[in-house]
């Protein structure tokens, strides 16, 4: 039901990338619906090109993206499950600062 791409930049700290990957995988495992994770290389100076590559990887009805220095909560995808089953045009998730 959902494709999630992670843009991986060459200069991202390895521990940040590991934490990002782990958090996305855990959220996918707990989503309660199929989530495919894709990694795409960053494009120096042009995040839009990297995003386009990421979105092109997906084939599910819904897509999202995560930056390689982000962490997502374990329930991040599960929280939108009810909304996605209603087949809306879009669902927006909020950012928060810890």
The predicted pLDDT at position 10 comes to 92
Q: Is 45 left (phi over 0), alpha (psi -120 to 50) or beta?
A: left
Residues recorded for the chain: 98
Residue 86 has a pLDDT of 87
Could you read off the pLDDT of 7-59 as tens digits, one per residue? 999 999 999 999 999 999 999 999 999 999 999 999 988 888 999 999 999 89
- CA dist., res. 11 & res. 1, Å (int): 31
Q: In this structure, what is the dihedral angle of CA atoms 85, 96, 39, 9, given to the nearest 10 degrees?
A: 160
- The answer, yes or no, to whether residue 67 has pLDDT greater than 70, is yes
**CB count in 10 Å sphere of residue 61:** 10
Q: What is the value of pTM for the model shown?
A: 0.88
pLDDT for res 42? 92
């Amino acid at each position: 039901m959902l494709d999630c791409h992670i843009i991986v930049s060459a200069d991202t700290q390895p521990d940040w990338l590991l934490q990002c990957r782990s958090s996305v995988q855990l959220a996918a495992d707990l989503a309660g619906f199929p989530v495919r994770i894709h990694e795409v290389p960053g494009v120096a100076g042009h995040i839009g090109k990297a995003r386009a590559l990421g979105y092109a990887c997906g084939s599910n009805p819904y897509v999202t993206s995560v930056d390689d220095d982000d962490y997502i909560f374990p329930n991040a995808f599960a929280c939108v499950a009810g909304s996605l089953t209603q087949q809306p045009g879009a669902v927006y998730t909020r950012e928060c600062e810890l």
